[in-house]
Amino acid sequence: MNITNSLISFAEAQRLMPGGVSSPVRAFKAVGGTPRFIDRGDGPYIYDIDGNRYIDYVLSWGPLILGHAHPALVAALTDQISRGTSFGAPTQLEIRLAGSIREAMPCIEMIRFVNSGTEATMSAIRLARAFTGKNKMIKFAGCYHGHADMLLVEAGSGVMTLGMAASAGVTDGEVEDTITVQYNDLVGVRNAFESYAGQIAAVIVEPVAGNMGLVLPSEGFLDGLWELTREHEALLIFDEVMTGFRVALGGACAAYGIAADIVCLGKVIGGGLPVGAYGGRKDIMEQVAPLGPVYQAGTLSGNPLAMAAGVATLGELSEDTYTFLERQGARLLEGLRKIGKEYGIPLQTAQAGSMIGFFFSDVPVNDYTSARKYADTTRYARFFHAMLDRGVYLAPSQFEAGFLSIRHTDDVIDATLEAARGAMQEIAS
Ligand code: HOZ
């Protein structure tokens, strides 16, 4: 595969930007080699600047449930761009998007739009602290909630990929109120509530963990969090930046039947434009300025392009979409398991709607500790490159989830499995 132009661009980019990228997860650090510089996307495919085509399972890290350059999205953006790109004043688009979100996720009685998932979770924590009058919060190792200081403790995604336990520049003071527990460990959560009685404002969780690879909540885990937060008068914050409109039309709240107190959103609700949101119970959201005392603001919040993209994206989604996506994901994972078995390569697979994941491990992975201990990252790196060489673009880290779009049709899944057969054969030796 000729990647001359990507090689040249990467060298140039590294002179101008740390690691040559605008976000660490893009840098191929864990898998080695040269990141592809992307020229364009079309449906399930991306094309690099050397003209190579890849089936895309990253999909901008989740937002592109419609695939690249969906006509409805292109039309909505084209229309909006001619009307103006930002006003710093309210638009009806915000009402439309808020209405669509509330329809799908009724526990979001009121919502505030921001510009990223990081902003959403950071603001949700501030709100939870103000609402409860308590300071501490529980998060789970391997869950990633963006890069706000107090949440960068044993975080997943790039932090885990780079083997970092925390980030330099975060003071002890910033994280003294953050309590970290293993994902799926309800006993650990109960113990934390008992150790810090009356001090815990909230539990923040990825209801399906997609930032340490894909790890599903064990039976009763989310219900247990709900009950414990009720028992201890704390709020339950679902970080659905990744799972919202991904694992089901109503996100994990619908999939697991839990009305979280605050829900953070991003990714799909912006259709690939920068967006985030947090919302929830009206009495909680009424604490946000200008209605209440919790200050949070943003020049580009509710940006009309992002809102238009979100409205167009959600307008294309229905229950049938998720039936299709679920089927395609199951087909892909079943094929991967079968091929792995043929070549004697142990795989642990997981799926939640249109999110998929697989670990090269012969034992199940349920949390951060087991992900780090059992996932064979060296084998993943070899598989990643073997797939890339065959025109399939996976996340450049074992500790990320994969995503499907409505354009990942049977032909696309078949082509992926054909590539996987060659790749597994290559890495088996
Ligand atoms: N949550 C995304 C990956 N796990 C974030 C993408 C990024 O950090 O660039």
**Residue whose entry in the numeric block shows the structure tokens 């450049």:** 396
pLDDT band, very low/low/confident/very high, at 397 (cuts 50, 70, 90): very high
Question: Which of 29, 60, 151, 157 should be mutated for ligand 1, with most atoms under 8 A from CB?
Answer: 157
Catalytic residue among 29, 134, 136, 267: 267
Distances (CA, A) of 120 to 112, 231, 296: 9, 26, 10
- Ligand 1 centroid to Cα of residue 343, in Å, is 32
As a whole number of angstroms, the distance between CA 295 and CA 273 comes to 24
**Atom 9 of ligand 1, nearest CA residue:** 23
Percent of the chain with pLDDT over 90: 95
Of the listed ranges 114-118, 172-176, 305-309, 376-380, the one predicted with least confidence: 172-176
pTM for this predicted structure:
0.97
Position 157 pLDDT exceeds 90: no
The separation between the first and the last C-alpha atoms of the chain, rounded to the nearest angstrom, is 22
pLDDT band, very low/low/confident/very high, at 161 (cuts 50, 70, 90): confident
**Contact present, 207 and 256 (Cβ < 8 Å):** yes
List, by residue range, all CATH 3.90.1150.10 domains of the chain. Answer: 4-69+318-428
Q: Once rounded to an integer, what is the mean pLDDT over residues 276-303?
A: 98
As a whole number of angstroms, the distance between CA 403 and CA 355 comes to 5
As a whole number of angstroms, the distance between CA 119 and CA 115 comes to 7
pLDDT tens digits, one per residue of 289-301:
999 999 999 999 9
From the CB of 400, is ligand 1 less than 6 Å away?
A: yes
Say which CATH topology domain 4-69+318-428 has: Aspartate Aminotransferase, domain 1 (3.90.1150)
Position 180 pLDDT exceeds 90: yes
pLDDT tens digits, one per residue of 209-248:
999 999 999 999 999 999 999 999 999 999 999 999 999 9
- Ligand 1 centroid to Cα of residue 23, in Å, is 8
Q: Looking at the domain that runs over 71-315, which CATH code has it been given?
A: 3.40.640.10
Position 165 pLDDT exceeds 80: no
**Atom 5 of ligand 1, nearest CA residue:** 61
Position 418 pLDDT exceeds 80: yes
Structure confidence at residue 153 (pLDDT): 86
pLDDT tens digits, one per residue of 327-351:
999 999 999 999 999 999 999 999 9
pLDDT band, very low/low/confident/very high, at 106 (cuts 50, 70, 90): very high
Mean pLDDT, the chain, whole residue set: 97
Query: When comparing pLDDT for 155 and 118, which is higher?
Result: 118
As a whole number of angstroms, the distance between CA 130 and CA 279 comes to 15
From the CB of 143, is ligand 1 less than 6 Å away?
A: no
Position 154 pLDDT exceeds 90: no
From the CB of 142, is ligand 1 less than 6 Å away?
A: no
| The token pair that represents 42 in the structure block | 């079309």
List, by residue range, all CATH 3.40.640.10 domains of the chain. Answer: 71-315
pLDDT band, very low/low/confident/very high, at 61 (cuts 50, 70, 90): very high
From the CB of 193, is ligand 1 less than 6 Å away?
A: no
Of 266, 269, 275, 279, give the one whose Cα is nearest residue 237: 279
